[in-house]
């Protein structure tokens, strides 16, 4: 089989593109990093790839709200190509700022459409602490449909967060109920035993229902606030010299994506 090909999207202010690309390269995927203008100039470029990743950072300085400008660029100029990419059964991963972009586009949670286009049904709002949170958190795995997490061998993983606007909130209580009923909650912030918690700093932003990551109803589009690309080597762990670390938890996300593509596309 040909190598799995990953398209990593960057824009002014993206700062996790090469770390994300390197994580996928460690899975033996062929990974390319493209500026948003390159994609706009060559709209069909995306169809040469199996996985689209929108990595973390502060695109366009988040001056109009996290992910807003990049989300608008994609909605206004690339939504048709992105829709075809999704219809073809391919994967999309949004990390931190990328999660914010996917929510602004309306691809997540992706429950309804407005005049044929995805409808915005959630937001990632300013942290309850009203400040940038840079810390490690425990995450309890939930979804059985999300392809990015299906083969994670443990219920609780440990990853860093780094954001100022990570508080997940839905537009209505019904939207939240649908997300839960559809098995779209991928991770919740938890304590080390895996008990979901709203207690700060275990939940670093005050997210509704302690949600740290969701997927769409197909399980092929996932957005997450924590950074898996920042735990792709054992030495990334803050206590790696004192604890026995078998596998860097972040790599599970990238390995599962690669496995899915090899099995299905």
Among residues 96, 121, 146, 163, the one annotated as catalytic is 96
Q: Confirm whether 146 is a catalytic residue.
A: no
The angle formed by the CA atoms of residues 233, 237 and 242, to the nearest 5 degrees, is 120
- C-alpha span between 247 and 245 (Å, rounded): 6
- C-alpha span between 66 and 61 (Å, rounded): 8
Check: CB of residue 158 under 8 Å from CB of residue 137: yes
Among residues 16, 121, 133, 227, the one annotated as catalytic is 227
Q: Confirm whether 163 is a catalytic residue.
A: no
Q: Where are the beta strands (DSSP E) in 60-151?
A: 91-95, 113-114, 117-118, 122-125, 133-141
Three-state DSSP at 188 gives: strand
Q: Confirm whether 96 is a catalytic residue.
A: yes
> Residue 246, CB half-sphere, CA atoms under 13 Å: how many?
4
- What are the catalytic residues? 96, 227, 229
């Amino acid at each position: 089989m040909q190598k799995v090909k990953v398209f990593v999207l960057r824009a002014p202010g993206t700062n996790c593109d090469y770390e994300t690309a390197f994580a996928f390269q460690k899975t033996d995927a062929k990974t390319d990093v493209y500026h948003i203008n390159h994609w706009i100039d060559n709209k069909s470029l995306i169809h040469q790839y199996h996985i689209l990743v929108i990595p973390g950072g502060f695109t366009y300085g988040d001056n109009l709200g996290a992910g807003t400008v990049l989300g608008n660029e994609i909605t206004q100029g690339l939504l048709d190509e992105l829709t075809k990419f999704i219809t073809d059964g391919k994967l999309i991963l949004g990390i931190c700022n990328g999660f914010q972009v996917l929510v602004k586009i309306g691809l997540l949670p992706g429950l309804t459409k407005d005049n044929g286009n995805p409808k915005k049904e959630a937001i990632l709002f300013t942290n309850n602490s009203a400040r940038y949170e840079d810390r490690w958190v425990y995450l309890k795995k939930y979804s059985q449909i999300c392809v990015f997490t299906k083969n994670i061998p443990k219920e609780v993983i440990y990853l860093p967060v780094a954001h100022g606007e990570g508080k997940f909130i839905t537009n209505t209580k019904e939207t939240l109920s649908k997300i839960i009923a559809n098995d779209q909650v991928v991770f919740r912030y938890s304590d080390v035993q895996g008990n979901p918690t709203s207690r700060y700093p275990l939940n670093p932003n005050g997210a509704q229902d302690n949600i740290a990551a969701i997927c769409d109803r197909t399980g092929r589009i996932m957005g997450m606030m924590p950074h898996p690309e920042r735990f792709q080597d054992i030495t990334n762990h803050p206590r790696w010299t004192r604890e026995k670390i078998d596998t860097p938890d972040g790599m599970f996300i990238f390995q599962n994506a690669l496995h899915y593509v090899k099995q299905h596309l």
